[in-house]
């Protein structure tokens, strides 16, 4: 396999060309060992490869003897350490002399003496070894940029890494914590913290630690539940661009009561209950959502209030579980995309999801609590233009009462011009809601111009009820300009002629898409069915609807 002839063509390549070629094989992880192959072609290649320091920046600690040799070849190049204690040691030489054998852990401790050119560190080890490393390593890390620490529950002292890593911007902690006032936190731009069963004092007192991270731009929290009291000092994060929260209990969202960030920050909250929640009251849910709703308060941010122009509240109670989703955008999404979540729907500025895999008899009630609390939390929506409602299609018997109770206090006077109903059999509920006028108050949604139905069923009574409501609004000067209908797949369209007469009398711009016929054969390409089923008002003038 090895070529040793010094006059072979492969050995005659100039050193400069070989170095440039070898740079294409600079590793990005310890497992990238093609660099070893380069050093075994011939003596000339070996000399060039061993002298190219960038090839040895990721020592392979699974083979300690080889890693030790790599560290010698490294010189002063940036050093990247990835050490997973649970991995098995690979033995490449069965007859290696005993004085050359070194344990992986001991080699790691020795490697940290080269802290002056450490650039990234990724450690996954028990707390006992992590504490020993911290005690033995007192050197500063002036070039360190990324630090990943995974353990089974430990807090490191303020002088970890010599208490000095001015270039450190990325920190990932899982079962491991730092002192609240550690100098390592001051210049962070990205923090990823996981709590779970390996809680640390750093995770429990996160809000206190966040006060020392004014440069933070990205914050990801997984199973972190803060113990900070409600009256604690709020941590201000003026540069935060994104925050992600993942937990198995809604109480994790109370973090929003303790931090402040710009109104443009992207917020994602995912709550996944493994089973239906127990002992959860409507007051508990209101409290949690009040923390999320604070993100809209103008006094909560030094830059004004968050702008929300489009809001979608969707959910479903299925046989296998329950899901609830709230999305909000500060710009108007493409119309067809927001109707049914298809196409290139922009990433929402706020994205909140609550779901669990099992359901019980209380699931519909719990969903109603979530829906009401969410709407009431987002009560400051002065520029809202598009509102999409998709409330549990399988449980829509009391939908009108639910919508009226939830929406009436806060959203009735908003400048919403487009209302999307992504709900089965929604016409009757919408008809009642659109003419709800207690105590001679003005009719709701006075700016409404476009009405959208999905899952629409042309039931005679539903169409009649909607027709009466819209005529009532028209008599008070609230005329609808456009109606978009996405019919239910099971709807035969038998009452389509009735609906078309309603459209003609009310003078709408009408956009209708029929439900898919299960017996209809697909086109040859299989992708033209939807476009062939679409018919606009302008097209229907020459064809039978």
- Encode pLDDT of 453-499 as tens digits: 877 666 666 677 777 888 888 888 887 788 777 766 655 555 566 66
Residue 519's pLDDT is what? Answer: 42
Residues 78 and 3 in one domain: no
Q: Quick one: how far is CA 266 from the chain centroid?
A: 9
pLDDT reading at 96 higher than 50: no
pLDDT digits (tens, 9 = 90+) for 129-163: 888 888 887 778 888 999 999 988 888 888 888 88
Residues 12 and 79 in one domain: no
Number of separate domains in the chain: 2
Of 201, 222, 240, the one marking the end of a domain is 240
Residues 127 and 208 in one domain: yes
Count of CB atoms situated within 10 Å of the CB of 424? 17
Reported as half-sphere exposure (CB side, CA atoms, 13 A), residue 211 has a value of 12
Region of 305 (left: φ > 0; alpha: ψ -120 to 50; beta: rest) is beta
pLDDT digits (tens, 9 = 90+) for 23-50: 777 766 666 666 666 666 677 777 777 6
Residues 198 and 128 in one domain: yes
Residues 34 and 69 in one domain: no
Residue 476 lies in a domain: no
Residue 275's pLDDT is what? Answer: 66
Residue 493's pLDDT is what? Answer: 54
Rg of the chain taking only CA atoms, in angstroms = 31
pLDDT digits (tens, 9 = 90+) for 256-308: 878 888 888 899 988 887 666 666 677 777 777 776 766 665 455 555 677 88
Question: For tokens 């609230």, what's the residue?
Answer: 478
pLDDT digits (tens, 9 = 90+) for 230-260: 656 788 898 999 999 998 877 778 788 788 8
Residue 190 lies in a domain: yes
pLDDT digits (tens, 9 = 90+) for 341-358: 666 778 888 888 887 766
* Confidence bin at 514 (pLDDT 50/70/90): low
Q: 267-289 b/e with 16+ CB inside 10 Å = b? A: bbbbbebeebbeebeeeebebbb
The span from the CA of 106 to the CA of 301, in Å, is 49
The span from the CA of 264 to the CA of 461, in Å, is 45
Contacts of 305 (CB under 8 A, 6+ apart): 263, 296, 297, 298, 380
CATH number of residue 226's parent domain:
3.80.10
Residue 377 lies in a domain: no
Residue 5 lies in a domain: yes
The span from the CA of 412 to the CA of 441, in Å, is 10
pLDDT reading at 189 higher than 90: yes
Residues 65 and 36 in one domain: no
Query: Contact, 463 vs 491, CB < 8 A?
Result: no
Looking at mean pLDDT, say which of 92-101, 238-247, 522-531 comes out highest.
Answer: 238-247
Residue 219 lies in a domain: yes
Residues 119 and 206 in one domain: yes
* Residues β-bridged to residue 383: none
How far, CA to CA in Å, does 210 sit from each of 163, 176, 302? Answer: 17, 16, 17
The span from the CA of 483 to the CA of 476, in Å, is 19
Where in the sequence is the domain holding 27, given as residue range(s)? 1-56
Residues 49 and 70 in one domain: no
Of 240, 260, 280, the one marking the end of a domain is 240
Residues 135 and 32 in one domain: no
* Confidence bin at 19 (pLDDT 50/70/90): confident
> What angle is formed at CA 510 by the lines to CA 506 and CA 512, rounded to 5 degrees?
135
Residues 21 and 107 in one domain: no
* Confidence bin at 530 (pLDDT 50/70/90): very low
Residue 526's pLDDT is what? Answer: 43
Residue 145 lies in a domain: yes
Residue 246 lies in a domain: no
| DSSP category for residue 244 | E
Of 205, 240, 275, the one marking the end of a domain is 240
* Confidence bin at 502 (pLDDT 50/70/90): low
Residue 214 lies in a domain: yes
How far, CA to CA in Å, does 178 sit from each of 143, 174, 255, 259? Answer: 19, 11, 19, 19
Residues 214 and 83 in one domain: yes
pLDDT digits (tens, 9 = 90+) for 212-228: 999 999 999 998 877 66
The span from the CA of 360 to the CA of 319, in Å, is 9
Mean pLDDT computed over every residue of the chain: 73
The span from the CA of 306 to the CA of 264, in Å, is 7
Give the pTM.
0.77
Residues 229 and 179 in one domain: yes
Q: Which helix (H) or strand (E) covers residue 46, if one does?
A: helix 43-51
Query: Contact, 352 vs 292, CB < 8 A?
Result: yes
């Amino acid at each position: 396999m090895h070529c040793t002839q010094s006059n072979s063509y492969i050995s005659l390549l100039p050193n400069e060309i070989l170095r440039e070629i070898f740079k294409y094989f600079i590793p990005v992880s310890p497992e990238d060992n093609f660099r070893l192959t380069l050093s075994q072609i011939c003596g000339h290649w070996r000399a060039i490869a061993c002298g190219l320091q960038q090839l040895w920046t990721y020592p392979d600690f699974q083979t300690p003897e080889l890693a030790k040799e790599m560290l010698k070849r490294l010189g002063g190049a940036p050093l990247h350490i990835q050490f997973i204690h649970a991995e098995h040691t690979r033995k490449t030489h069965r007859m290696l002399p005993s004085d050359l054998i070194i344990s992986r852990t001991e080699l790691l401790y020795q490697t940290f003496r080269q802290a002056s050119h450490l650039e990234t560190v990724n450690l996954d080890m028990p707390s006992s070894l992590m504490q020993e490393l911290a005690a033995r390593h007192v050197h500063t890390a002036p070039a360190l940029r990324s630090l990943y620490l995974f353990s089974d529950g430990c807090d490191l002292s303020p002088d970890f890494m010599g208490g000095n890593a001015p270039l450190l911007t990325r920190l990932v902690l899982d079962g491991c914590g730092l002192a609240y006032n550690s100098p390592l936190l001051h210049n962070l731009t990205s923090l990823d913290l996981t709590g779970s069963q390996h809680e640390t004092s750093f995770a429990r007192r996160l809000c206190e630690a966040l006060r020392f991270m004014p440069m933070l731009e990205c914050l990801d929290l997984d199973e972190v539940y803060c113990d900070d009291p409600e009256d604690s000092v709020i941590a201000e994060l003026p540069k935060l661009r994104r925050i992600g929260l993942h937990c198995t209990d809604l109480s994790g969202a109370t973090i929003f009561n303790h931090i402040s960030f710009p109104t443009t920050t992207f917020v994602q909250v995912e709550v996944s209950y493994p089973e239906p929640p127990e002992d959860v009251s409507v007051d508990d849910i209101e409290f949690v959502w009040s923390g999320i709703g604070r993100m809209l308060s103008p006094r909560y941010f030094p830059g004004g209030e968050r702008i929300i122009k489009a809001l979608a509240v969707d959910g479903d109670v299925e046989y296998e579980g329950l899901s609830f989703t709230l999305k909000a955008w500060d710009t108007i999404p493409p119309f067809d995309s927001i109707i049914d979540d298809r196409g290139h729907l922009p990433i929402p500025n706020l994205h909140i999801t609550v779901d669990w895999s099992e359901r019980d008899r209380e699931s519909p009630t719990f969903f109603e609590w979530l829906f009401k609390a969410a709407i009431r939390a987002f009560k400051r929506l002065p520029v809202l233009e598009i509102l999409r409602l998709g409330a549990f299609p399988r449980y829509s018997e009391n939908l009108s009462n639910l919508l009226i109770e939830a929406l009436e206090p806060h959203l009735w006077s908003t400048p919403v011009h487009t209302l999307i109903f992504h709900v089965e059999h929604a016409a009757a509920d919408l008809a009642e809601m659109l003419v709800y006028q207690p105590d001679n108050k003005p009719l709701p949604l006075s700016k409404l111009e476009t009405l959208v139905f999905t899952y629409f069923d042309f039931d005679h009574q539903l169409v009649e009820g909607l027709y009466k409501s819209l005529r009532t609004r028209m008599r008070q000067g609230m005329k609808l300009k456009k109606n978009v209908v996405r019919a239910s797949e099971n709807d035969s369209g038998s009452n389509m002629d009735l609906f078309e007469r309603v459209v003609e009398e009310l003078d709408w711009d009408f956009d209708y898409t029929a439900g898919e016929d299960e017996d209809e054969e697909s086109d040859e390409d299989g992708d033209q069915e939807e476009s062939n089923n679409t018919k606009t008002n302008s097209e229907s003038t020459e064809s039978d609807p």
